[in-house]
């Protein structure tokens, strides 16, 4: 992308697009930066990096970031509510969950990538929906009343979820398509030069095979293991069997 | 990615990997976040978000970011010097160019995506090298003494360059492969679930065709046009015919 990229487009944006991205302590910038940039460069988009306050938060890995908008200041009616992988503390943080539940109750699109899907779920926003998340965490989806569905991007009514990293870009292209039309989505794909060529074709458990997948899951285990207890509580609170 | 992802790996990292990413005012976070996260989660990596000082800088689009390391504090000997698209001011900013030229003179790898390639070039680091950049800006490469080469990732000795956005991820996978080995690169590709499926297959000028490419170039023109004058001066300073 370039310093002042703007894309003219017709239709669909008569009033501002209100776009809120959660940036909580421990958040993973890699999950949010695709949609952040794809939509943030569009004319008529009001971009909000939201958190409880505008004190600097630390990303994972190290990425000191200052939110632009507090929960209180965030527009009540959002066009897009977006969440990437958060810090674990947010899965049980009442203020965060209430904010997401409130804005999600009215948002045009509710989007989450990687463990961000599960945070939306913990806020009660995925009950009865098909969804996806990080491949190592799909077993947590039932705890929030969601049903796992395969695919890079899973769309069920106005919920749209994806895996980590480039999952966010692919959600972004789909949201551009919905909000600005096919031509805008196509142009964004070209402007991003989104024609990826993985160095090795192992970007999913199916492609990677059981051996590499087992290694990857074992390496994820220390960070995901604490989520079992957390999601049992989340499931109980939501009244979901899990 | 997850909150505390760590990847065990063998070999190649007996001493810390010093990894510096330029975060200048106007920088594009989408270009740096792939390598930032891919390498930043690895054990033994010292991640530096470098700028003249540690005052907050504003990304493009809006992304308030605080550098972690000043030019003065940045290790003299870097394993990776990485630059994404900067603000235009950096192309002629003596302090920035001198910092890049100095660290680049000793760095193990010198990497740039999108217009970051051209900033490396403006610092004199691409003279006599094959390189790439944003498709709309490849005509500036001769001004810095570089020769355009096709490909998602272009590697010439220890210079590695790519287009925008996911170009950075692909540089990151290659650097992981070099510094940590094939297995670490494969695992990172799986942990990222990097098996992209573009919504439309138009992610390069060749794929997009002449009509969409012309539209995209026309939209880039306002932001790229000022670079012509800038790079004529850069070429004159470097003594490059252009």
Catalytic residue among A21, A78, A81, A114: A114
Angstrom CA distances, B225 to A17, B165, B205, stand at 29, 21, 19
Which residues of B are known catalytic residues?
Answer: 114
Asked if B190 lies within 8 A of A174 by C-beta distance, the reply is no
Map residue B184 onto helix, strand or coil: helix
Asked if A115 lies within 8 A of B8 by C-beta distance, the reply is no
Instruction: Tell me the helices (H) and strands (E) count for chain B, helix number first.
Output: 6, 11
Q: Whole-angstrom Cα distance, residue A190 to residue A173?
A: 11
> Is residue B212 less than 8 Å (CB to CB) from chain A?
yes
Q: In what order do the strands lie in the sheet with A45-51?
A: A69-70, A45-51, A17-22, A80-83, A109-113, A159-162, A153-156
Q: Whole-angstrom Cα distance, residue A86 to residue A107?
A: 20
Q: Whole-angstrom Cα distance, residue A61 to residue A115?
A: 15
Q: What is the pLDDT of residue B165?
A: 86
Asked if B191 lies within 8 A of A4 by C-beta distance, the reply is no
Query: Would you give the DSSP letter of residue B16?
Result: P
Residues of chain A contacting residue B170, judged by C-beta atoms under 8 Å apart: 196-199
**Do the strands B57-59 and B63-65 form a parallel or antiparallel pair, or are they unpaired?**
antiparallel
- E-assigned strands of chain A? 17-22, 45-51, 57-59, 63-65, 69-70, 80-83, 109-113, 130-131, 147-148, 153-156, 159-162
Calculate ∠ Cα A233-A153-B28, nearest 5°. 100
Residues of chain B contacting residue A211, judged by C-beta atoms under 8 Å apart: none
Q: Which of A2, A88, A212 faces B223 most closely, judged by CB atoms? A: A2
CA distance A12 to chain B (A): 19
Q: Whole-angstrom Cα distance, residue B209 to residue B199?
A: 16
Q: What is the pLDDT of residue A30?
A: 97
Asked if B186 lies within 8 A of A200 by C-beta distance, the reply is yes
Element (H, E) at B230: helix B205-238
Asked if B208 lies within 8 A of A190 by C-beta distance, the reply is yes
> Is residue B49 less than 8 Å (CB to CB) from chain A?
yes
Closest alpha carbon to B217 in B139, B135, B104: B135
Element (H, E) at B186: helix B182-191
- Residue A36, C-beta contacts closer than 8 angstroms, at least 6 positions apart: A21, A47, B29, B30, B61, B63
pLDDT (average), residues A29-54: 97
Q: How far is CA B178 from the centre of its chain?
A: 17
Q: What is the pLDDT of residue B156?
A: 98
For A77-134, how does the pLDDT look when each residue is reduced to its tens digit (9 = 90+)? 999 999 999 999 999 999 999 999 999 999 999 999 999 999 999 999 999 999 999 9
- Residue A166, C-beta contacts closer than 8 angstroms, at least 6 positions apart: A34, A196, B166, B169, B192, B193, B194, B196
CA distance B3 to chain A (A): 6
Asked if A165 lies within 8 A of B164 by C-beta distance, the reply is no
> Is residue A215 less than 8 Å (CB to CB) from chain B?
yes
Q: What is the pLDDT of residue A241?
A: 66
> Is residue B224 less than 8 Å (CB to CB) from chain A?
yes
Asked if B198 lies within 8 A of A63 by C-beta distance, the reply is no
pLDDT (average), residues A49-55: 98
Domain B17-238 part of CATH 3.40.50.880:
yes
Nearest CA in chain A to B162: A193
Please list the residues that pair with A49 across neighbouring strands.
A21
> Is residue A76 less than 8 Å (CB to CB) from chain B?
no
Residues of chain B contacting residue A188, judged by C-beta atoms under 8 Å apart: none
Map tokens 């995209």 to a residue. B216
Average pLDDT per 10 consecutive residues for chain B, totaling 242 residues: 41 79 98 97 96 98 98 98 97 98 98 98 98 96 97 97 94 98 97 95 96 96 93 94 60
> Is residue B13 less than 8 Å (CB to CB) from chain A?
no
Q: What is the pLDDT of residue B4?
A: 35
Asked if A169 lies within 8 A of B174 by C-beta distance, the reply is no
Cis peptide before A61 (omega within 30 of 0): yes
Element (H, E) at B130: strand B130-131
Calculate ∠ Cα B133-B135-B137, nearest 5°. 65
Residues of chain A contacting residue B18, judged by C-beta atoms under 8 Å apart: none
ipTM of the complex: 0.93
Residue A114 appears among annotated catalytic residues: yes
Instruction: Answer yes or no: is pLDDT of A10 > 70.
Output: no
- Rg for chain A, CA atoms, rounded: 17
Q: What backbone torsions phi and psi does residue B197 show, to the nearest 5 degrees? A: -130, 95
Q: Whole-angstrom Cα distance, residue B163 to residue B148?
A: 12
Structure tokens at A138: 């799909």
pLDDT (average), residues A15-22: 96
Q: Which of B4, B182, B199 faces A189 most closely, judged by CB atoms? A: B199
CA distance A201 to chain B (A): 7
Structure tokens at B2: 């997850």
Closest alpha carbon to A175 in A68, A19, A6, A26: A19
Q: Which of A3, A30, A62 faces B33 most closely, judged by CB atoms? A: A30
Average predicted confidence (pLDDT) for chain A: 93
Test the A interface: residue of B1, B49, B89, B216 with most A CBs within 10 Å: B1
Q: What is the pLDDT of residue B6?
A: 39
> Is residue B26 less than 8 Å (CB to CB) from chain A?
yes
Calculate ∠ Cα B65-B70-B73, nearest 5°. 145
Residues of chain B contacting residue A201, judged by C-beta atoms under 8 Å apart: 195
Instruction: Answer yes or no: is pLDDT of A218 > 60.
Output: yes
A212 versus B15: the higher-pLDDT residue is A212
């Amino acid at each position: 992308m370039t310093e002042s990229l703007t894309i003219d487009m017709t239709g669909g944006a008569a009033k501002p697009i209100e776009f809120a991205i959660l940036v909580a302590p421990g958040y993973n910038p890699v999950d949010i930066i695709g949609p952040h940039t794809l939509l943030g460069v569009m004319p008529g988009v009001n971009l909000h990096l939201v958190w409880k306050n505008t004190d600097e938060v630390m990303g994972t890995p190290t990425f000191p970031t200052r939110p632009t908008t507090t929960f209180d200041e965030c527009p009540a009616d959002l066009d897009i509510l977006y969440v990437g992988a958060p810090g674990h503390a947010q899965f049980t943080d009442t203020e965060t969950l209430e904010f997401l539940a409130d804005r999600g109750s009215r948002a045009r699109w509710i989007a989450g990538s990687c463990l961000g899907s599960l945070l939306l779920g913990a806020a009660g926003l995925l009950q009865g929906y098909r969804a996806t998340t990080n491949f190592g965490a799909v077993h947590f989806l039932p705890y929030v009343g969601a049903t796992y569905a395969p695919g890079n991007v899973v769309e069920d009514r106005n919920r749209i979820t994806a895996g980590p990293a480039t999952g966010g870009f692919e959600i972004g292209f789909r949201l551009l398509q919905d909000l600005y039309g096919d031509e805008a989505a196509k142009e964004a794909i070209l402007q991003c030069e989104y024609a990826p060529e993985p160095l090795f074709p192992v970007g999913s458990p199916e492609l990677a095979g059981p051996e590499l997948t087992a290694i990857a899951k074992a390496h994820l285990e220390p960070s995901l293991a604490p989520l079992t207890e957390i999601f049992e509580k989340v499931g109980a609170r939501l009244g979901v069997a899990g």
